[in-house]
Amino acid sequence: MIKLLLLYLFCKASSAGVHILQGIVSCVWDEETQKVSFDSLVGYDGEDFLALDLETLTVIPLQPRAIPVKQTWETYKVGKMIVKMIALDISVVFKLLLDKGKSFLLRTEQPSLSLLQKSPSSPVSCHATGFFPSRALMFWRKDGEEIHENVDHEEILPNDDGTFQMRIYLDISSISPEDWRRYDCVFQLIGKEEKIINLDGATLRTNRESPSNITLPIIAAGITLVLVSIAAAVGYVVNKKKIAHENGIELTETLNPEI
């Protein structure tokens, strides 16, 4: 509606021909006074043309060609009343959206932390996922002191649900297992409490199976193979004896027809 009114004024004040009209409306909310103020900047043929103060409903020319529009606007009382009503409606909607969205935008969600090592020679990855907002810190500590040596960071990445994830690696090739307990991974949302996970074999997940998990299937497969081989051999022997026995009976009957 505001654009239509401005377009009408431009048509009355501008020359004939094709012209390009652009407009930007900004809203500013003062949390202390709970007041919403509006400003509008209008461009004409690619240049800043005039500014419209929606609170006082005054036009501010930004170049000489805008003076006729200001003069026309000053006499357009009905248009001013319509714009004022629109500004009030926008103010109410804007404050409602801010109130509804504030709890969502200002929410905080702590992540789940996990440790992963792909192989015995791989660095340990400390993975944090599901946190919000993205303003977060993550680092490794030794004996309570932040360390930077043998540490590698990855950038913060978004998740599909709107939360974020990040990783930080620690090279433990020169750290003995007895000293693992001296290290921990720390995650912290800016201004919030730290979340810590200790470097421990019990919490470290790997892609390797334990020896018992590998040995049992191998033993079972070996026993099965042996049993199958024995069964095949026994079957072969029994079958050979049966054939020999049958052939022997036939031969006896032929040589001793009277018996």
Show the tokens assigned to 82.
Answer: 């319509």
Q: For residue 259, is pLDDT > 50? A: no
Show the tokens assigned to 158.
Answer: 């978004």
Model confidence pLDDT, tens digit, residues 143-154: 999 999 999 999
DSSP letter at 199? -
The 3-state DSSP class for residue 35 equals strand
The 3-state DSSP class for residue 164 equals strand
Cβ partners under 8 Å of residue 36, min gap 6: 27, 28, 29, 30, 91, 94, 95
Pick the CATH number of 112-206 from 1.10.540.10, 2.60.40.10, 3.30.70.600, 3.40.50.620: 2.60.40.10
pLDDT at residue 111, as a whole number: 94
Q: For residue 255, is pLDDT > 60? A: no
Q: CB-side exposure of 234: number of CA atoms within 13 Å?
A: 6
The overall average pLDDT reported for the chain is 76
DSSP letter at 243? H
Tell me if 59 sits within 8 A of 72, measured CB to CB. no
Model confidence pLDDT, tens digit, residues 236-249: 555 555 555 555 54
Neighbours of 128 (CB within 10 A): 24
Kindly indicate the confidence band of residue 184, based on its pLDDT and cuts at 50, 70 and 90. Answer: very high
Return d(Cα 56, Cα 66) in angstroms, integer: 18
Q: For residue 232, is pLDDT > 60? A: no
Helix axes 67-74, 2-13, angle to 10 degrees: 120
Show the tokens assigned to 111.
Answer: 């992540």
pLDDT at residue 254, as a whole number: 46
Kindly indicate the confidence band of residue 15, based on its pLDDT and cuts at 50, 70 and 90. Answer: low
DSSP letter at 19? -
Return d(Cα 204, Cα 185) in angstroms, integer: 12
Tell me if 37 sits within 8 A of 28, measured CB to CB. yes
Please tell me which residue, 51 or 208, carries the higher pLDDT value.
Answer: 51
Instruction: List the one residue out of 66, 74, 38 whose CA is nearest residue 53.
Output: 38
Tell me if 74 sits within 8 A of 56, measured CB to CB. no
Please tell me which residue, 26 or 165, carries the higher pLDDT value.
Answer: 165
Q: Please count the residues of the chain.
A: 259
Pick the CATH number of 2-105 from 3.20.110.10, 1.10.579.10, 3.30.500.10, 1.10.4160.10: 3.30.500.10
Mean pLDDT over 40-49 rounds to 82
**pTM (2 decimals)?**
0.48
Please tell me which residue, 166 or 15, carries the higher pLDDT value.
Answer: 166
Residue with tokens 């050979």: 240
Model confidence pLDDT, tens digit, residues 52-66: 877 788 888 898 888
Return d(Cα 176, Cα 221) in angstroms, integer: 37
The 3-state DSSP class for residue 198 equals strand
Which range among 75-79, 106-110, 170-174, 236-240 shows the weakest confidence by mean pLDDT?
Answer: 236-240
Percent share of the chain, pLDDT over 90? 31
- Domain extents for the chain? 2-105, 112-206
Model confidence pLDDT, tens digit, residues 193-230: 899 999 988 888 886 544 444 444 544 555 555 455 55
Please give the angle made by the CA atoms of 10, 12 and 15, to the nearest 5 degrees: 80
Q: For residue 114, is pLDDT > 90? A: yes
Is the Cα torsion angle 97, 24, 29, 1 positive or negative in sign? negative
